[in-house]
Amino acid sequence: MTSQSKTTPSFDVVPLETEVVIVGGGIIGACTALELARRGIPVVLCEKGTIGEEQSSRNWGWVRKMGRDVREMPLMMHAMKLWDELPGLIGADPGFRRNGITYFCDREQDMAKYEAWMKVMEPFGLDTHFVGRDRANALAPGNTRNFAGGLHTPSDGFAEPHLATRLIAEGARKLGAVIVEGCAVRGFE
């Protein structure tokens, strides 16, 4: 997919009324529009440039449970389920892959800082586990360091943020959301 929009910028076709206006066409705005449209709630998403081109295009795309605050974990468990359901909902593959995420440690004693986190997360039944030197280095082929080990979560993954954001917004549009690009919001009436 190119950076060119699949949706046509609607400079003169902004609805006069709606139930919800979302300002910002990043991953959160697109997902919010998708959920509202799925529920049949009239929604307009306004983006000053093009969908997914601002901050959402600059992150690493990690979708992870590992390293989260315990208060975030129920939301992350639910989010992982939603990522798995997205292709059927939007009619396209948003590129989410569960290839695992690893936090690498240069020294064995550095792994001890994760022990308290592992203990707090036990009730969630995560597949996060410690890996030793050989496994850590195998998880990073071609690395120029000799990692002492790390923390690995096989079920965590990533999605290419720009592609995912555009496809989610397109899915929201198919479900009835109005997506308006090239529309900087300066106020509401």
pLDDT, residue 142, reads: 92
pLDDT, residue 4, reads: 47
pLDDT, residue 10, reads: 46
Q: What is the pLDDT of residues 38-61, one digit of tens each?
A: 999 999 999 999 998 887 777 888
pLDDT, residue 23, reads: 95
Say if strands 43-47 and 20-23 run parallel, antiparallel, or are unpaired. Answer: parallel
Contact 79, 87 (CB under 8 A): no
Which positions of the chain have pLDDT values less than 70? 1-13
pLDDT, residue 45, reads: 96
Which pTM does this prediction carry? 0.83
Measured distance CA(115)–CA(181) in Å, rounded: 46
